[in-house]
Amino acid sequence: MHQLTIAEIIRGLRSKEFSSTELTRHLLGRIQQLDSNYNSFITVTEESALAQAAAADQRLANGEAPALCGVPIAHKDIICTNGVRTSCASKMLDNFIPPYDATVVDNLNAAGTVSLGKTNMDEFAMGSSNESSFYGPVKNPWNTRCVPGGSSGGSAAAVAAQLIPGATATDTGGSIRQPAALTNTTGLKPTYGRISRYGIVAYASSLDQAGPIARNAEDAAYLLSAMASHDPKDSTSLKQQPADFTAELNNPIAGLRIGVPREYFGEGLNPETASRVQEALRTFEKLGAQLVDISLPHTELAIPAYYVIAPAEASANLSRFDGVRYGYRCKEPKDLRDLYMRSRGEGFGEEVQRRILVGTYALSAGYYDAYYNKAQQARRLIKQDFVEAFEKVDVIMGPTTPSPAFELGAKSADPVAMYLEDIYTIATNLAGLPGMSVPCGLVDNMPVGLQITGNYLEEARMLNIAHQYQQVTDWHKASAV
């Protein structure tokens, strides 16, 4: 049963081939047996999962069940879950149990999903390798000596290891798409504001966006249909009607104009990765699409702009973790200053401290105009590149990552090298656009991802394009286990 996709689970539950309780017990058993190899879960919620599964089975028996009723999933541990620890993979929040659910959790609960627990991640979503977690690194199921990507590496690894068929994740600079690429899963970052951020612990508020990781585009469409909604509790939430993102999956894509940015195929791209992406583009041509050479001239500004803006917002958002109200508190502080300094120094890991310091510096008097203001100007130029490109093309495609997964520890001592892993994904967040990664091949038996970037609110079309590609290729069916 663990090999089933979400679409197959939906059909199997309705045809009574198995129950949600049977499926949930089976997957919980796999997590208990196998996850010590991957460290993809922080918390497993066996008791509540079985209760949710029993309730789903009752809804299915009554014939009143929504599409995802009874489907097991997991939530990234940055998403608040009522009564279940939400740690952000940090010592700072190791003991934090939220008294409420995030809107995305509410939505998926209403859809009848069964949550098996909370997945591991880079601490406070800051990282590209899932090595900064307080609970230890996540390991890539394709090669446990390698990273699964970050920060949503736990969600991606759990799906790749067939512990769950789908999971929630968040993406601030590529944290859904990059781990999806490195683990041979399908990950979608929607348009900024498509999914409510209420109840998702903030890293960089103008960039954060939740989305699904699953085995294929069809499954991602099912999850996105339940996750997306307007939320008055989130001032950045877009006003939108409920949508069924599975409705257009089977539309033909003949005549599609695919923009291929020349900046994405230059220095720094692994030649074998480039070859797999080019093969995928040729497959789209066979499906009737047209490749269009385009330029995104300000791509080189994405990394420096992001690593000023994101740390600046992080320094503000993480100021609330001070040892006073909740979270980690140092022992026997001498005074208030000592409480602040030692609680934050002991509670935050090295990468989080680095980004807080960078952000605080960029926002400080005398440096705001030189750094933060300039970064926002660069962000505007990057966004304008996309606006102009979408006047000529329907979607943009290229590699998701510069190379396949690297070995654990290979880049830990070089933060800049680690930051460059997100070179192709960051611009999408800076512009607020939707982006996704789909499997497109293997290099030395390690997965490679094709990135699809769409225009604003074009998720249905992107999922249609990805689904049509997956109808004529089998890369998404390749398994690590």
The tens digit of pLDDT for each residue in 64-116 reads 899 999 999 999 999 999 999 999 999 999 999 999 999 999 999 999 999 99
Annotated catalytic residue, options 132, 133, 152, 175: 175
- Check residue 450 and give its pLDDT: 98
Name the nearest CA neighbour of 99 among 117, 80, 78, 112.
Answer: 80
Q: Is the peptide bond before 155 cis (omega within 30 degrees of 0)?
A: no
Whether 76 is catalytic is: yes
DSSP-derived letter for residue 202 is: P
> What pLDDT is recorded for position 366?
85
Look at residue 416 in the predicted model and tell me its pLDDT: 87
List Cα–Cα distances, 304 to 322, 331, 355, 454, in angstroms: 28, 38, 13, 23
Q: Rounded CA gap, 387 and 92, in Å?
A: 40
Q: Are 104 and 212 in contact (CB under 8 A)?
A: no
Is 127 within 8 Å of 347 (Cβ atoms)? no
What are 170's strand-pairing partners? 210
* Rounded Cα gap, residues 6 and 111, in angstroms: 13
In the predicted model, what is the mean pLDDT of the chain? 97
Question: Which amino acid makes up residue 100?
Answer: Y
Q: Phi/psi class of residue 199: alpha, beta or left (left: φ > 0; alpha: ψ in -120 to 50)?
A: left
- Token pair listed for 335: 């005074």
DSSP string across 321-354: -SSSSSS---SS-SSHHHHHHHHHHHHS-HHHHH
Gap between the Cα atoms of 79 and 473, Å rounded? 33
**Annotated catalytic residue, options 76, 118, 139, 411:** 76
Report the first-to-last Cα separation within the chain, whole angstroms: 14
**Domains assigned to the chain:** 6-253 (3.90.1300.10)
Interatomic CA distance for residues 258 and 227, integer angstroms: 28
Q: Fill in the amino acid letter for 402.
A: P
Active-site residue flag, 20: no
Residues of the chain with confidence (pLDDT) below 50: none
Give the pLDDT of residue 234: 97
pLDDT for position 237:
97
Catalytic annotation, pick one of 20, 129, 151, 237? 151
* Composition of the chain by helix, strand, coil, percent to 5: 45, 15, 40
Q: Are strands 446-454 and 435-443 parallel, antiparallel or unpaired?
A: antiparallel
Can you tell me the distance from the alpha carbon of 421 to that of 149, in angstroms, rounded to the nearest whole number?
9
| 175 is annotated as an active-site residue | yes
CA distance 138 to 42: 10
